[in-house]
Amino acid sequence: MQRPHPILSPDRIAPSIPCSRPDASTLEATALIDGEVDMAYALITGASSGIGRELASLFAANGYDIVITARSQERLNTVQTALKQQYQVRVVVFAADLSEPDAPQRLHDFTTSHGISIEYLVNNAGFADWTGYLDADWSRQQEMMRLNMEALAELTYRYGRDMRRAGHGRILNISSVASMMAGPYMAVYFASKAFVRSLSEAVAYELRDTGVTVTCVCPGPTTTGFAKAANMHGRNFFTMTRPASAHQLAAYAYRRMMRGTTLAYHGPLTRAGALAERLLPRAVTRRLAAFMNGGEPNTRSVSATPQAHPEQSAQD
């Protein structure tokens, strides 16, 4: 088992000291790790870009070996090469679409069968869609629910059981300011993030005194390609606020995870949302959310036809 590494200042991340052990060769989903067992790794979903990639960089900068997963093999390979060269850590690639029903179990089976012990789990993958609920493409909404909720819940369950058995581990689930209210024109996304927050808080309580922590971080607007992926245009919360950078959010989430904080709000809009949730009637907060979401989409055809995953989805 790896010894804990110091948490470096997010504003002054330096390359870790090269490890004395030999570096493992590139691992694909069918590769074997010869002669290695019980290696402690951090697993980050949606790690090919945005917040996920920044979190992978933070773990690597602090000397942790990592498993990165997303849909795009090519993007993951690019991240793998960069992190291995800069930080001299092992970086395992597992390309998968986590919205597929069997994908979370395949990921868990892969790490388990190759002796990779997951000490840190980061559930970051997810996406949104700007649309009226009854005008949405149902297959896309289903995909969103499977990725944002079902995959996160299953990975938390499977790796959480492993961590509880080992007596240590940390789980980070990325929620949103959207978790605090109903969200007209992004109904499923807002509901999915409320699920993430509620599940995380409950499991964190159940795991008290086990050595395992669950942290739920609720970001506000963050520059990750979210608006483009959600097909948003015109006035919305990205144009009406000053979004945080992916690095800023990742550094905040990393610190909170390492401290074992259960629930954390990043940015002034999220903290305002948490206050509004306690003080304002829900009839008011859902009107505010509808306004901040940009109102009813002017072009229904964007969501009325089937679409592939957005290019900037956190799962890529």
**Residues with catalytic roles:** 189
What does the radius of gyration of the chain's CA atoms come to, in whole angstroms?
Answer: 19
Number of Cβ within 10 Å of residue 78's Cβ equals: 14
| 254 and 58 Cβ atoms separated by less than 8 Å | yes
| 88 and 19 Cβ atoms separated by less than 8 Å | yes
CA separation, residue 143 to residues 13, 45, 230, 280, 302 (Å): 36, 16, 13, 32, 17
Report the DSSP beta bridge partners of residue 68.
Answer: 44, 93
CA separation, residue 116 to residues 91, 209, 214, 217 (Å): 12, 24, 20, 26
Distance CA 270, CA 291 (A): 16
